[in-house]
Chain A
Amino acid sequence: MKSADENRIFQDLLNACRNGDLELVERLAFLIPHSSYCYTVYALEKRTNTTLNWISLVRNFGAPINQTDTWQCSPLYLACLCGHYREFLLENGARCGQDTFEGQRCYYGALTIKIRSLLSSYKYTKADDKYQPFRKFFSHILERPLDTFSDVIFKLNAPYGWLRGYNTLEKLEISAHRSILYARSTFFASKFQTIWRTSKVIEIQEIQIHPTCFRTMLRYLYTGEITSIPNSLMDNMIQLCQYVCLNNLAERYKNKRINQDLDKVEFKKLQNDLVKFFKNVLLEDKQYYVETDYNNKMEFTESQHDICIRVEDEYFNCHKVFLTERCEYFKAMFTGPFSEKLLRSPRVSDCSSEVFALILEFIYTDKCDIPESLACEVLIKADMYLLDKLKSIASIVLTKLSEPLEDIYVLMRTAIDLNIVRLEQWCCRWFAEHLHEVIEDQRFLDFICESAHSIKKRQETDTIPFIDDLRYWLSKKYSVLEDDIDKRSGKVREYDGEEITDWEAEYNLVLEKIEQVLLSLDLNA
């Protein structure tokens, strides 16, 4: 739900795009997500008719430049339509891939060829690529099932003469992962729960399946890609799709709609299937075995798990294929020669079960709804398990808060230890806003010292990064203009005749205070 303020700013952004006012676009693009805090600044700006340097903020925080207005016009579209050659929006992840609705519109709306070619050069924006590792995971396990803990083998029985090179007497074996098939296809899910419950090797007797068709179907189930097949196999493909109850896919092949357009939709579907599988099957399953003894018993459960991880008092049924291929930590754990390799229910300590469930959610679905209260812990664990994307998801959750849920010093400590610039800046801003509360606190002073010592062989003239950041945020707080700041003292100068505003005076006072603190710490900056 957007607030009224937000809407107003968005409208301004759209107007700025129309006019090609890059500076305004930059500032507005930043304003929207932080409206509550920023709108006041914006209003002030309007009033004083001055500008601030917002670019670094935009870079750090990202802006909803892919939002659309009531007529579904994105800022980029308007900019293109009105012939403004600006890379800013694109650089900051505005969506322009030709396979998206917005992208398509931008492309056709582009006023000049120059803009159009710029658009196509940005075709693979970060926004488009954000699922790239996840996609790669699926195609990797599809292509190398034997290296990735495949747990089921399909034996195909192609009639003689269908394919040169295949000896019909020796049946063709295709390996796959139960978990994927279960998640993606109701047909396989029900079969795995019933007649194929314990089968390691499955022979499909009912219909003749051409190996190519079966592989194409597997590709669809694994990656959502719909690839073309030779016309001679079309009937068999459709037959197969109907057999495994993939009616949509059968329709697609019947109508020969095999273009890649719907790839995104299909991938979304794939992700949703996994979300459902994770939430409805895996998390439900989890409780099931609490009382039983794991090391001795391994049954096929609904979730088709092949490993059970013990966290605190809970057991999570998992699939090695997901754990090892999505996370290097687990890969080392389960493929290395260590004791966990043989355990059926290895233990994960130092982690709460809620947090572990979130980590699993990310591993299985590539997204994660992190409750604000757990975000910090997830952040730390994500760092430990080397899950960079989860780390940034968690830090986004944290930095969206206006007040820290836990001790600000702990948060700052974490941000520094885990090297999360975004969170560090957020903490700095908080310190700037609450300077009077913390300025006496020893822990705050410790950070200053630490920051000062982080630079090896510090010289008299070197600055302290932490203090620099504080000053920056203070200047924002008191809306001091960069031009007015004296380079040497860091304070607002008095221009000939021009009065210092109240806020600026206050800013100078605060700086004075910091100066004193630094002197007391025997530091100079």
Chain B
Amino acid sequence: MSSRRSQNSADLQFNDNWERLAQAIREIHKKNASILSFEELYRNAYNMVLHKNGDKLYNGVRGVITQHLEEVAQAQVVPAFPLSGASSSQTNSNGAGGANFLKVLKNVWEDHTTCMLMIRDILMYMDRVYAKTANVPLVYDLGLDLFRDTIVRSQKHPIQNHLLDVLLQQIKLERENEIIDRSSVKASMDMLLELTDASTKDTVYATDFEGRFLDTSSEYYRVEGQMLVGECDAPEYMKKVEKRLVEEEQRVRHYLSPSTEPKIRNIVEEELISKHLKTVIEMENSGLIPMLRNEKMDDLGRMYKLFGRVLKGHEEMKSAISEYIRELGKAINETVSSNTSSEGGSGSGEKQTGASVAIKWVQEVLDLKDKFDKVQNLALSNDKAFQTSFNEAFEHFINKNSKSPEFISLFIDDNLKKGLKGKTEEEVDSVLDKTITLFRFIGEKDVFERYYKQHLAKRLLLGRSVSDDAERGMIGKLKVECGYQFTTKLEGMFNDMRISADTMSDFKDFLDKSVLEKPKMDLGVTVLTSTFWPMNLSASPRCNFPAEITKACETFQRFYLGRHSGRRLTWQSNMGTADIRGSFKSRKHDLNVSTYQMVILLMFNDLPEGESLSYEQIKGESDIPEADLKRNLQSLACARYKILVKEPKGKDINHGDVFYFNYEFTAPYQRIKIPTVASKVETEGERKETREKVEEARKHQTEAAIVRIMKDRKTMDHNNLIAEVTRQLQPRFVPNPALIKKRIEALIEREYLERASDR
């Protein structure tokens, strides 16, 4: 009995104490904490816990706080609900109502947290001793949970709906450029972030708000994306998107959780960029192609940055741009081919324009390249992936033009020849550098080599090079690109030129010292190593030199063979030039002519005035091949300087024509250069010939490669061998598998290879 009585008195004591504590909490809620004595309240709570009344105290506190919060919800939060349904879209009145609601909620939240801090202070002992052993939340967390359940997710009042609607609506208003009270929005967000969801242990922000926010945002931007695409041109659209991205990023910084940032960014990117990639790129008059056309670097740069945010963005841009490059390249190719074909129709006489077509083509390609380099540089921040796709596009259309190796070689030829005229060496050098970039695109590098050799030979033999340095520089560049092998022959040509110069000076000394009769003419000889040079040097062309010349040649031959035994010299009468002096009625002229022309003219030396030689006579006596003879006669008799007079008159040389020496010839200059056949675009026949030579060379190279590989590997299966051969030959040309197969068969036939017995 006594224990029960003491129990009762303890209960009474507890009730008494608790009543005082509850009153104190109410005072705290009324913001009257300054009249309370902390010492007393703490002692009070301490005693309750000490006397094992922790659970009663805890539940009591829970009750008082819940009651208070319910009152607050009823008295403060509910009256502040925005007037009409929050979902309606009367922006202004609603917006203000919403803002007010948020403010009220903010105040309620702040009051609650400050109160909870005070309550926590008073109940510190309970937190320490009771909450820990009873495994219940600390009192502050209890306060948060109660706030969550009685205010934010109130069962009695639709606070949650209003809150979320208002928040989303405020954000919507801000997206529509209205000014909202960010601080109260932020306060609500902070509140949601601080509250945790009981079941998921995640924040209420994440469970209640974030999903809805993302859904509405995605809907909002879906609509906006469709609208903007219809209304704006591409640059404007991109500016708007950029602005949206910045806005959302700032929104997150200002009042959302940082964890939302990637999610909302993804939504904007998805809705505004990914979904409209193609549309924006293909916008007429303002899309990607017009931007490129008008070199709108800012817009391009913006597009690059924006599209880079999404998965396919750069992919689409790249393919669009390279498509455009291909188109432009095709256009360039087409103008060239139309030019040549029209010229081909008008006659083969104007070879000069043929070369200029080549130069024009290269120049246009270079300009195009420049343009895209600039785009690459200024707008695409030197993105390597773009560079590669551009290069592919260039490669594609350059190789589409089968003449491109020749054109490029011609372009180089032109620059190395004309270099001194106006351009400084640096300029030439930079042009050549650019040309090298084009050279890289060529698939058939061996074809280029062949042309380059031809053009180089002509430059060297005709003394047309700007300078040795420039030539060597160019070869150096090619060497860097393609390696030593590619340029050995070219270098050999240079060597020949140098050695020949030495030989000539030796020859002069030899003649000076010689007791023999000196030739009546100066002889300049260039000794060419037959394998280095592109011409077919082994077969000596037919041509009968006049006696004097033959004699001079023999003198040199004796001299040269005396020095180098075991060599054979053949005279290349289809090359070389001669300076001869012609006496005409008015004055004497120094004529610079080709060897063949010299031979022809010398025939007229012995002829009295008025006598003539027929075509057949000339042909018979000189034995010059017919095509060459015709061309040379043409340039002597039908071109600008008519040294010979032809009968009957006409442009073309025909059998039975008769030629007189033109004593009446006049010209303004003392020295005249009779135009020889200049570098030119090849005719179809020549092209075919070159082609055949190239094919022949390829056969050898392919075989060489096969043998090299097989020597190394001993046995190898067919596919691997083809792959390896292709890989090795890649830098020079792209071999056709059929070709390789043929070569393998040929090698097997000649017993270089054999099929492995076990397969």
Partner of B125, one of A339, A386, A419: A386
Q: Is B124 touching A340 in the complex (CB atoms < 8 A)?
A: no
Which residue of B40, B50, B121, B129 contacts A336 across the interface (Cβ within 8 Å)? B121
CA distance A328 to B120 in the complex (A): 12
Name the distance in Å between B51's Cβ and chain A's nearest Cβ.
8
| Docked-complex contact A350 and B128, CB < 8 angstroms | no
- Which of B1-54 touch A at CB < 8 Å? 33-43, 46, 50
Complex-state Cα separation, A332 to B117, whole angstroms: 10
Q: Taking A332-B42, A350-B43, A417-B50 as contacts, is the C-beta distance between A340 and B37 under 8 angstroms?
A: yes
B504 CB–A CB distance under 8 Å = no
Report the Cα distance A341→B46, complex, angstroms. 20
Contact B128 A337 (CB under 8 A): no
Q: Are B124 and A339 in contact (CB under 8 A)?
A: no
Complex CA gap A337/B24 in Å reads: 13
Are B39 and A333 in contact, with the CB atoms below 8 A?
Answer: yes
Query: Is B128 in contact with A386, judged by CB distance below 8 angstroms?
Result: yes
Q: Which of A338, A341, A386 is most buried by chain B, counting CB atoms within 10 A of its CB?
A: A338
Query: What residue of chain B has the Cβ atom nearest to residue A341's Cβ?
Result: B34
| Complex Cα gap A440–B181 (Å) | 75
The verdict on B277 contacting chain A, using a C-beta distance below 8 Å, is no
CB contacts (< 8 Å) of A332 on chain B: these are: 38, 42, 121-122, 124
Closest to A414 in B: B50
> Residue B118 at the A interface, CB < 8 A?
yes
List chain B residues, Cβ under 8 A from A338. 33-34, 36-38, 41, 118, 121
Tell me which residues from 314 to 351 in chain A have a Cβ below 8 Å from any Cβ of chain B: 328-329, 332-333, 336-342, 346-350
Q: Is the CB of A339 within 8 A of B50?
A: no
Indicate whether A265 reaches chain B with its CB closer than 8 angstroms. Answer: no
Please tell me if A244 contacts chain B, counting CB pairs below 8 Å. Answer: no
In the assembled complex, the CB of B132 is this many whole angstroms from the nearest CB of chain A, namely: 10
CB of B37 within 8 A of CB of A339, answer yes
Cβ-based interface call for A384 (8 A): yes
Chain A residues whose C-beta falls within 8 Å of the C-beta of B41 in the assembled complex? 338
- Chain B residue nearest to A380 in the complex (CB): B50
Determine the chain A residues whose CB is within 8 A of the CB of B121 once the complex forms. 332, 336, 338
Knowing A332-B121, A337-B33, A386-B128 are in contact, say whether A347-B38 is a contact too (CB < 8 A).
no
What are the residues of chain B within 8 A of A342 when measuring CB–CB? 34
Q: Which of B39, B43, B118 has the most CB of A within 10 A?
A: B39
A346–B117 Cα distance when bound, in Å, is 21
Closest beta carbon of chain B to A329's beta carbon, Å? 7
Cα A349 to Cα B128 with chains together (Å): 22
Q: Assign chain B's interface to a size class.
A: 20 to 34
- Give complex CA distance A333, B118 in Å: 10
Contacting A337 at CB < 8 Å: which of B43, B118, B125?
Answer: B118
Cβ < 8 Å to A, chain B residues 508-524? none
B116-139 near A? 1/0 per residue, CB < 8 Å: 011001101100110000000000
Interface string of A378-422 (1 = CB under 8 A from B): 000000101000000000000000000000000000000101000
User: Cβ of B34 and Cβ of A339 under 8 Å apart?
Assistant: yes
A349 to B41, CA, bound (A): 12
Output the least CB separation between B282 and chain A (Å): 57
Query: Bound complex: CA of A54 vs CA of B50, how far in Å?
Result: 33
B55 → chain A, closest Cβ, in Å?
13
CA distance A347 to B118 in the complex (A): 20
Residues of chain A at interface, number, CB under 8 A: 20
Give B114's nearest chain A residue, CB to CB: A337
A406 → chain B, closest Cβ, in Å? Answer: 18
- A333 engages B50 (CB within 8 Å): no
Specify which of B41, B50, B121 lies most central, judged by the most chain A CB atoms within 10 Å of its CB.
B121
**Which residues of chain A are within 8 angstroms of B42 by Cβ–Cβ distance?**
329, 332-333
Contact with B along A151-167 (1 / 0, CB 8 A): 00000000000000000
CA distance A337 to B118 in the complex (A): 7
Which residues of A sit under 8 angstroms from B117, Cβ to Cβ? 336
Contact assessment for A348 and B33 in the assembled complex, using a CB-CB cutoff below 8 Å: no
Measured between beta carbons, the chain B residues less than 8 angstroms from A328 are 124
Interface centre among A328, A332, A342, A419 (most CB of B within 10 A): A332
Q: Is the CB of A384 within 8 A of B46?
A: yes
> Which residues of A have CB within 8 Å of B50?
417
B693-719 with Cβ < 8 A to chain A: none
State the CA gap A471–B41 with chains docked (Å): 42
Whether A348 and B38, one on each chain, are in contact in the complex, defined by CB atoms closer than 8 angstroms, is no
B46 and A346 contacting across the interface, CB-CB below 8 Å = no
Q: Which residue of chain B has its CB nearest to the CB of A386?
A: B128
Nearest CB of chain B from residue A124's CB, rounded to whole Å: 26
In the complex, chain A residues whose CB is within 8 Å of the CB of B122: 332
Known: A347-B39, A384-B46, A417-B50. A336 touches B124 (CB 8 A): no
> When the two chains form their complex, are residues A386 and B39 in contact, meaning their CB atoms are under 8 A apart?
no
CB distance from A320 to the nearest CB of B (A): 14
Q: What separation, in Å, do the CA atoms of A348 and B40 have in the docked complex?
A: 9
Give the contacting residue for B39; candidates A337, A346, A419; CB below 8 A: A346
Find the residue from A339, A348, A349 having the highest chain B CB count within 10 A.
A339
Q: Is the CB of B128 within 8 A of A339?
A: no
Set of chain A residues within 8 Å of B33, measured between Cβ atoms = 336-338
- Return chain B residues, CB-CB under 8 Å to A336: 33, 38, 117-118, 121
Cβ contact within 8 Å between A333 and B38: yes
Closest B residue, CB atoms, query A334: B38
Whole-angstrom CA separation of A299 from B280 in the bound complex: 79
Q: Which residue of A lies closest to B40 (CB)?
A: A349
Q: Smallest Cβ distance from B184 to chain A, in angstroms?
A: 24
Report the separation of the CA atoms of residues A384 and B42 in the bound assembly, to the nearest whole angstrom: 9
Contacts of A341 in B (CB 8 A): 34
Rounded to whole Å, the gap between the CB of A15 and the closest CB of chain B is 45
Residues of A within 8 A of B129 (CB): 419
Closest to A388 in B: B128
- The distance in angstroms between the C-alpha atoms of A348 and B117, with both chains bound, is 22
Once A329-B42, A347-B39, A350-B43 are accepted as A-B contacts, the answer to whether A337 and B124 lie under 8 Å apart by CB is no
Residues of B within 8 A of A417 (CB): 50
Beta-carbon nearest neighbor of A417 in chain B: B50
The CA-CA distance from A18 to B595 in the complex, in Å, is 116
Cα–Cα, bound, A329→B39 (Å):
9
* Shortest distance between the CB of B42 and any CB in chain A (Å): 7
- Of chain B, the residue at the smallest CB distance from A335 is B121
Known: A336-B33, A336-B118, A349-B43. A386 touches B38 (CB 8 A): no
Q: Establish whether residues A339 and B38, one from each chain, have CB atoms under 8 Å apart when the complex forms.
A: yes
**A348 → chain B, closest Cβ, in Å?**
6
Tell me the residues in window 177-221 of chain A with beta carbons closer than 8 Å to chain B beta carbons.
none
Contact residues in B for A339 (Cβ distance below 8 Å): 34-38
Q: Which residue of A lies closest to B32 (CB)?
A: A337
Whole-angstrom CA separation of A386 from B46 in the bound complex = 11
Closest-CB distance, A327 to chain B (whole angstroms): 11
User: In the bound complex, how far is the Cα of B117 from the Cα of A384, in angstroms?
Assistant: 19
Q: A residues within 8 A CB of B128?
A: 386
Q: In the assembled complex, which residues on chain A have CB atoms less than 8 Å from the CB atom of B38? A: 332-333, 336, 338-340
Cα of A333 to Cα of B37 in the assembled complex, Å: 9
Pairwise interchain contact B124-A386, C-beta atoms closer than 8 A: yes
User: What is the CB-to-nearest-CB distance from B36 to chain A, in angstroms, rounded to a whole number?
Assistant: 5
Q: Give bound CA distance, A417 to B33, whole Å.
A: 30
Q: Nearest CB to that of B128 among chain A residues?
A: A386
* B125 & A384 in contact (Cβ 8 Å cutoff): yes
A336 to B42, CA, bound (A): 12
Q: How far is the CA of A419 from the CA of B124 in the complex (A)?
A: 17
12 new A-B contacts at CB < 8 Å, known A332-B124, A338-B121, A417-B50 = A329-B124, A332-B38, A336-B117, A336-B118, A337-B34, A338-B36, A338-B38, A339-B38, A340-B37, A340-B39, A341-B34, A347-B39
29 contacts between A and B (CB under 8 A): A328-B124, A329-B42, A332-B42, A332-B121, A332-B122, A332-B124, A333-B39, A333-B42, A336-B33, A336-B38, A336-B118, A338-B33, A338-B118, A338-B121, A339-B35, A339-B37, A339-B38, A340-B37, A340-B38, A340-B39, A341-B34, A342-B34, A346-B39, A348-B39, A349-B40, A349-B43, A350-B43, A384-B43, A384-B46
When A and B form their complex, which 7 residue pairs have the shortest distance between CB atoms, in order from nearest?
A332-B121, A338-B38, A337-B33, A333-B38, A336-B121, A340-B38, A339-B37
